[in-house]
Amino acid sequence: MDTMFHYPDDSLALHTDLYEINMMLTYWEKGIDQRQAIFELYYRKNPFGSGYAVFAGLERSVDYINGLHFSDSDIAYLRRTENYPEAFLTYLHNMTLQLTIRAPREGEVVFADEPLFQVEGPLAQCQLVETALLNIVNYQTLVATKASRIKSAVGDDPLLEFGSRRAQELDAAVWGARAAYIAGFDATSNVRAGKLFDIPISGTHAHSLVQTYRNDYQAFKAYAETHHDCVFLVDTYDTLRSGVPSAIRVAKEMGDRINFLGVRIDSGDMAYISKRVRQQLDEAGFPEAKIYASNDLDEYTILNLKMQDAKIDVWGVGTKLITAYDQPALGAVYKLVSIQDAAGVMQDTIKLSSNAEKVSTPGKKQVWRITNDDKDAKSEGDYITLFQEDPRQLDQLYMFHPQYTYINKTVKNFTARPLLHEIYHAGTQVYTLPPLNEVRRYAADALAALWPEYRRHLNPQQYPVDLSQRLWDHKMNYIHAVRDAVKNMAKQEDD
Ligand SMILES: Nc1ncnc2c1ncn2[C@@H]1O[C@H](COP(=O)(O)OP(=O)(O)OP(=O)(O)O)[C@@H](O)[C@H]1O
Ligand SMILES: O=P(O)(O)OC[C@H]1O[C@H](OP(=O)(O)OP(=O)(O)O)[C@H](O)[C@@H]1O
Ligand SMILES: O=C(O)c1cccnc1
């Protein structure tokens, strides 16, 4: 053991909150651990004031589920720390997953209150996976959504992910780089993310190179003598008087021996400076040289710089993307929606709240993306049904707002596409993960199917996420039934 955290048989089975295993013990002792349960994972509000989110995290979740078993050292650890019966530890040790799991395709455009994972199977097993699934989806979906907003600000300009050094730890850097790539970033500076996921990698150089040589010209020359593709960072001392002139000098001296791609600026007024730099490069005979920019950029600064007609060609974005700076949590939850009773019958469950938006929707569901064949196949909204409903059999669809039911429409020439696909069936993986480039293409297409009104950064229109009449009635019946039950209980206590 070379470091304290290296167990030779480390696993992710203990990457769960202790309360999950505590509940598993209760279910096991009470003989209900095998009861069929259905949990759904969803978030309640689109992040960053966005009109949508980009679903990411499926591949990592599959990797997690595939490797999920309690190893010897996991069991030894629980034996040492918890007062669990030995037979329960043996039960954990021997556990093989039998879960049926459904999820949207990775890269899918998704919305608040839609199940992003539906986990069905033995109650104890459903409970075990809660923490890790939330952990994965909460982070990756958040970063993919922020990345999608940044991508929409840059348009077709190349967009580089520079976040690793500012990410919340190593995993966040590589999985964040992947999430960013899904949502439209073109490359990452993280070499391991490149290796792991086959994402294009990209890199210039840091201020330390220039500081090492104490001089722009010497530093750029040394770099040019050791590299073919060159982007020189020009703002260490004085961008316009030293950085750019030195870059030009080296480019001229080296001629065809290097591929002078351009210069990077990382400080100052980037609208003003980029225009001056463009002028200097053009006048020196380098109109093809690109201007790279980085420095705390995100969709807001990028749009602002574009508005000022900044002459920036390539955008490098780190901190604000990888840390989801303006909203560090997606807030997705994992809720029990149905559970088998003692007679073996599935009984749906509901969680009430004084806040109407927080009242859960009982039962196993499917989400349908409704596109209008008369309107360029753009999305009309999403339609959540009980799982067994199939809106494809209907001639027309009556869609209404689940809270303000007077907001409604009837859609005639429509296509309904189910978003939740079976990833595992009773413990066996039945879905083949697509290559990352396909996920990325899919994300772009899914976004393009949204009307721009739902895509805009600022005050987007609220995309309809409606319940079918049957599901809505089902929910209302449960609300009334639970209210009546509580009332009766209170009355009995009073009597
Ligand atoms: N023309 C501009 N319009 C709007 N925002 C800009 C413009 N130029 C730069 N910015 C942004 O303003 C912020 C400036 O950051 P900061 O105050 O740290 O200045 P700086 O130039 O980085 O300073 P330093 O020289 O210490 O690095 C950055 O987020 C940058 O992206
Ligand atoms: O601003 P971000 O969006 O987070 O992009 C990443 C930042 O990381 C680097 O700066 P850093 O000061 O860490 O190193 P440097 O010495 O190379 O500038 C780079 O120059 C960017 O400014
Ligand atoms: O390659 C770069 O320019 C780079 C990489 C990481 C962080 N900042 C810049």
How is domain 204-295 classified at the CATH fold level? TIM Barrel (3.20.20)
Ligand 2 touching residue 212 (CB < 6 A): no
Confidence of residue 2 (pLDDT cuts 50, 70, 90): low
CA 235 to CA 220: how far, in whole Å? Answer: 12
User: Residues 139-164: pLDDT tens digits?
Assistant: 999 999 999 999 999 999 999 999 99
Asked whether residue 34 carries a pLDDT value surpassing 90, the answer given is yes
Domain borders along the chain are 18-144+328-483, 204-295
Instruction: Name every protein residue with a CB atom under 6 angstroms from any ligand 1 atom.
Output: 267-271, 295-297, 301, 304-305, 308
Ligand closest in space to the Cα of 180: 2
pLDDT of residue 262: 98
User: Residues 79-114: pLDDT tens digits?
Assistant: 999 999 999 999 999 999 999 999 999 999 999 999
C-alpha 428 to ligand 3 mean position (Å): 42
Asked whether residue 358 carries a pLDDT value surpassing 60, the answer given is yes
pLDDT of residue 237: 98
Ligand 3 touching residue 294 (CB < 6 A): yes
pLDDT of residue 415: 94
At the fourth CATH level, the homologous superfamily of domain 18-144+328-483 is nicotinate phosphoribosyltransferase (3.20.140.10)
pLDDT of residue 4: 60
C-alpha 157 to ligand 1 mean position (Å): 20
User: Residues 383-404: pLDDT tens digits?
Assistant: 999 999 999 999 999 999 999 9
Read off the pLDDT of each residue in 291-307 and give the average, rounded to a whole number.
98
Read off the pLDDT of each residue in 3-8 and give the average, rounded to a whole number.
75
Read off the pLDDT of each residue in 292-315 and give the average, rounded to a whole number.
98
CA 179 to CA 188: how far, in whole Å? Answer: 11
> What is the pTM assigned to this prediction?
0.97
Confidence of residue 493 (pLDDT cuts 50, 70, 90): confident
Question: Considering the chain, what percentage of its residues have pLDDT values greater than 90?
Answer: 92
Nearest CA to ligand 3 atom 8: 162
Task: Give the residue, 2 or 16, on which the prediction is more confident.
Answer: 16
User: Residues 438-466: pLDDT tens digits?
Assistant: 999 999 999 999 999 999 999 999 999 99
Asked whether residue 186 carries a pLDDT value surpassing 90, the answer given is yes
Asked whether residue 129 carries a pLDDT value surpassing 80, the answer given is yes
Read off the pLDDT of each residue in 412-438 and give the average, rounded to a whole number.
97
Asked whether residue 1 carries a pLDDT value surpassing 60, the answer given is no
C-alpha 316 to ligand 3 mean position (Å): 7
pLDDT of residue 377: 78
